[in-house]
Each structure stands twice: as structure tokens, then as C-alpha cells.
């Protein structure tokens, strides 16, 4: 399994260039076709005039400005893809809101790359604060969310996988296999020891499954955190602090 089609959201947000560059690097690594997708933000029902009393002149002006923003975003996408030498790419525009439009585009791809929204800031990337959450839950495909600031010259060299034995976790691991195979090290974090969900040796079965797919994996087991009640530090804080300080995962 590999990513054959990757879709990246092209808009006018602050982190768009880094997001497209990361998607382009991943497309080159996977020899995948890269699609830049941009939407006008106008629902189709609004274009059809159903349920709206705004004048035709207002709608025409809004659509004209929205189409201008879409074309600017797609020109930036094509410029970055060409500059980085992506062998196969295309730009797509649609008269949809970003929620429905990105979900539709994702269903015909192996991976969707989105940007993290700036909930506290201003500008285009603050207008849709729940976009990544909505698309993640509704598109039916794996989603890679790129932070709103910073550069990302490498992709997924060290990966942490949280495993609880659930169907959702199994689907997420399978969808991430191309990313996991390209990692230098994958750490499988298992919280708890429920044999019903995790088997006789928690983490061992899924680690073997990943190893057969060529993933370099190690298992990190921790007891299931207990709720100490209100007013106390959250269970697992020491573990989280250790991760942040040395950047490595150890039993």
C-alpha cells in the first residue's frame, strides 16, 4: 500500500506555503499525484438562489471576489509544485464551501493535507476554526494536519502511535502505513492492559502486524492512567514531561 493521490488544501492562510511544500515532498517520496484543491466558500444552494433573499448583484460580486481568491491560491500551489519538481500535479477549483468541498475531494484520494487554523488570530485562516475537526470526522480518509507556523524539512522520521485495540485505532494505523514505513522509528504506545481489547500480550500483535509491513516498531507499555479526581495533576503528566524533555520514548 502506498499513497497514490494526495490532496492539499490551497487557500490564502498564513501557513499555506509550508503546507503545500510538505505535501509536495510527501508526493515525491510516494511517487504520488498531487492535487491542490481550492473552494469559493459559497454553498451550491446559495448559487441556486434557494433560501436566500440577497440580490443577484450581491451574489455576483461575492462570487467574483471568491473566484479571484481561489485563482490566487491555485497559482501559488502550481508555483510551489513546479519549483519543488513535483512530477505529477493538478489544480482543482469548485464552487463549494470548504467543509463539503474538501470532504468530497478527500474521498477520491489516499491522503488529505490540511492546515491548522489560527483560532485566536485574524485573516483567512481564522474564519473556519473547526474545519480540520469537521473534515477529519466526515471525509472518510486519513488527514494530515500541518501546524500553522514553522517549516517541515522532514516528514515523520519518528512517529508515536497511540494504540488501544479499538476498530478506530486499527483503521488509523492501516491508513498511516505509507507514513509509518517511511519512518526511522515508530513507537507504539499502549496504555492499559485489558486482554479483551489488547490480547494476552498488549501491543505485541499489532507490532508484529506492522513489522510484517516493513515498519521499524518498538512497543512502549504503560498502565492505564487513573483519574485522581478534581484539583490534582492529570495522571501521566510525568510521562508527558519526560517525552518533552529528552525527545525519546523508553519503557
245: left (phi over 0), alpha (psi -120 to 50) or beta: alpha
Share of the chain above pLDDT 70, in %: 74
Is residue 49 over pLDDT 80? no
What is the mean predicted confidence (pLDDT) over 69-81? Answer: 95
What's the Rg (C-alpha) of the chain?
A: 21
pLDDT at res. 107: 95
How much is the pLDDT for 117? 83
pLDDT tens, position by position, 86-108: 999 999 999 889 999 999 999 99
Cα angle for residues 173, 27, 130 (degrees, 5° grid): 60
The length of the chain in residues reads: 251
Helix (H, G, I), strand (E, B) or coil at 231: coil
Band (204; pLDDT cuts 50, 70, 90): confident
Distance (Å, whole) CA 138 – CA 156:
24
Q: Do 28 and 86 meet the contact criterion of CB atoms below 8 Å apart?
A: yes
- Mean pLDDT, range 63-87, rounded to an integer: 93
Cβ atoms of 154 and 117 closer than 8 Å: no
Which pLDDT does position 38 carry in this prediction?
96
Cell of 43: 454553498
Please state, rounded to an integer, the average pLDDT across all residues of the chain: 82
Tens digit of pLDDT for each residue in 1-42? 689 999 999 998 888 999 999 999 999 999 999 999 999 887
Judged by average pLDDT, the poorest of 50-54, 160-164, 227-231 is: 50-54
Q: Which domains does the chain possess?
A: 5-146 (3.40.50.620), 158-246 (3.40.50.620)
Say what the pLDDT of residue 74 is.
Answer: 96
Bigger pLDDT: 57 vs 143:
143
Rounded average pLDDT over 175-201: 82
Find cell 481550492 and name the residue: 38
Amino acid at each position: 500500500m502506498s499513497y497514490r493521490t494526495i490532496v492539499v488544501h490551497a487557500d490564502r492562510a498564513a501557513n499555506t506555503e509550508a503546507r503545500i511544500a510538505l505535501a509536495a515532498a510527501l508526493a515525491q517520496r510516494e511517487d504520488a499525484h498531487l492535487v491542490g484543491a481550492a473552494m469559493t466558500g459559497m454553498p451550491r444552494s446559495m448559487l441556486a438562489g434557494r433560501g436566500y433573499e440577497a440580490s443577484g448583484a450581491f451574489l455576483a460580486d461575492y462570487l467574483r471576489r471568491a473566484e479571484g481568491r481561489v485563482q490566487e491560491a491555485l497559482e501559488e500551489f502550481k508555483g510551489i509544485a513546479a519549483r519543488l519538481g513535483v512530477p505529477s500535479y493538478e489544480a482543482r477549483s469548485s464552487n463549494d464551501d470548504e467543509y463539503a468541498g474538501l470532504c468530497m475531494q478527500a474521498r477520491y484520494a489516499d491522503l488529505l493535507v490540511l492546515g491548522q487554523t489560527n483560532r485566536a488570530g485574524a485573516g483567512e485562516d481564522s474564519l473556519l476554526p473547526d474545519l480540520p475537526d469537521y473534515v477529519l470526522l466526515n471525509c472518510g480518509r486519513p488527514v494530515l494536519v500541518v501546524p500553522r507556523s514553522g517549516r517541515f524539512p522532514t516528514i515523520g522520521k519518528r512517529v508515536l502511535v497511540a494504540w488501544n485495540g479499538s476498530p478506530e485505532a486499527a483503521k488509523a494505523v492501516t491508513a498511516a502505513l505509507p507514513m509509518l514505513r517511511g519512518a526511522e522509528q515508530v513507537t507504539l504506545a499502549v496504555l492499559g492492559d485489558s486482554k479483551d481489547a489488547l490480547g494476552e500480550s498488549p501491543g505485541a500483535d499489532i507490532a508484529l502486524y506492522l513489522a510484517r509491513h516493513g515498519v521499524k516498531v518498538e512497543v512502549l507499555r504503560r498502565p492505564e492512567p487513573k483519574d485522581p479526581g478534581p484539583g490534582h495533576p492529570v495522571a501521566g503528566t510525568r510521562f508527558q514531561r519526560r517525552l518533552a524533555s529528552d525527545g525519546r520514548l523508553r519503557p
